[in-house]
Amino acid sequence: MSMPFSIRAVQLQEAQQLQQLSITTFTEAFATQNKKEDIVQYLTHAFAINRLAEELNDKESEFYFIENEVNKAGYIKLNRKSTYALAAHQPAVELERIYISGAYQKNGLGQQLLNFSTTWAQQQNARTLCLGVWEHNVRAIRFYERNGFIRFGSHIFMLGTDPQTDLLMARPI
């Protein structure tokens, strides 16, 4: 019998655990499709411990772990304001990061995190949940489409020195 998973807020003193999980899950998700130098450059910058500590202290953002009694299986980062929502999507919140470790994928944990994100967004009095997803992450795009997200634009995401296109998606809540 598997242990149940729960979702809880990440505390500042857990920045190092968040860093380790962030590096692991991002690498699992994108390393095989990108140049090693670009991955390393991105990881070094985006998941530097001082940067994560700043993000954890930001009152406009919240991080949550999904875990059981033994392991942290993934996490999300939610922003009270979406940086790229169109005026028609306001007020909106942004699901900036959603990652599940490879060992725990296909167990419904991503759905649990997305459902949690929707409830969280409603508690922020948002009408829309927005996110960006790499155009080549077909599996994630299908997941979001199954959950009612539609594309409303795109923007450039710099992975190291590689400009990549993220699809911007939103759904009403």
* DSSP-derived pairing of the beta strands 162-172 and 150-159: antiparallel
State the Cα angle at 58 between 56 and 59, rounded to 5°. 115
- pLDDT for the residue numbered 53: 97
What is the amino acid identity at position 105? Q
Evaluate whether 94 touches 82 at the Cβ level (below 8 Å): yes
Quote the distance between the C-alpha of residue 29 and its chain's center.
12
pLDDT in the model for residue 135: 97
How far is residue 164 from each of residues 32, 92, 160, measured CA to CA in Å? 15, 24, 10
β-pair partners for 79: 61, 94
State the Cα–Cα distance between residues 138 and 38, nearest whole angstrom: 21
**Residues forming the active site:** 144
**pLDDT tens digits, 125-167:** 999 999 999 999 999 999 999 999 999 999 999 999 999 999 9
Q: What does the pLDDT read at residue 1? A: 40
Q: What is the pLDDT of residue 27?
A: 98
Amino acid, res. 16: Q
Whether the pLDDT of residue 109 is over 80: the answer is yes
Q: Rg (Cα) of the chain, in Å, rounded?
A: 15
Quote the CA–CA distance of 43 and 41 in Å, as a whole number.
6
Give per-residue pLDDT as tens, 41-89.
999 999 999 999 999 999 999 999 999 999 999 999 999 977 765 545 6
Predicted confidence at residue 91, as pLDDT, reads: 86
CA distance 92 to 148: 15
Domain boundaries, the chain: 6-126
Domain 6-126 CATH superfamily:
Gcn5-related N-acetyltransferase (GNAT) (3.40.630.30)
Output the pTM of the full model.
Answer: 0.94
Whole-Å CA distances, 69 to 7, 72, 73? 11, 8, 11
